[in-house]
Amino acid sequence: MTHILVADDDPDIREIVALLLEVAGHEVSTVADGAAALAAIKHQTYALAVLDNAMPVMSGLQVLCASQDLGRESRPIFLMLSALNSRRDVRAAMDAGADYYLPKPFESTRLVSCVRELLDTGTLAPAADG
């Protein structure tokens, strides 16, 4: 079973994403802010982390930047899931280490298929939807 971290300050989004991923057969942990996400990533091994960009304490972008010093074997695949989806937001996240950027609102089937492909191949092209 693949362990995935979901970090989003919106409890409804956290619950929906966690449920979708659990139904798809993954073990899911959730946190409500970027600092908690970074702490979790540093203390637990996750195959993939779903990050919102606009979170309190520490943004998803800041989590990506702070994760750069993790070794490749301990660094999860990063899927940014955010309503901040201007070209600048997407480029900043990709430059900081996001493996894919999926804009909100999202379709549940698209999220699950993105996660599946990222876990299978480690990549997904093009770099962002929309």
The CATH class of the 3-121 domain is: alpha beta
**pTM of the predicted structure, to 2 decimals:** 0.91
What pLDDT, on a 0 to 100 scale, did the predictor assign at position 121? 87
Residue type, 25: G
Cα–Cα distance for residue pair 38/110, rounded to 1 Å: 25
Number of H-type helices and E-type strands within the chain: 5, 5
What pLDDT, on a 0 to 100 scale, did the predictor assign at position 107? 96
Q: Tell me, what DSSP letter sits at residue 96? A: H
Cα–Cα distance for residue pair 20/41, rounded to 1 Å: 21
Reading the chain (130 residues) residue by residue, the pLDDT tens digits are 799 999 999 999 999 999 999 999 999 999 999 999 999 999 999 999 999 999 999 999 999 999 988 877 779 999 999 999 899 999 999 999 999 999 999 999 999 999 999 999 876 655 444 4
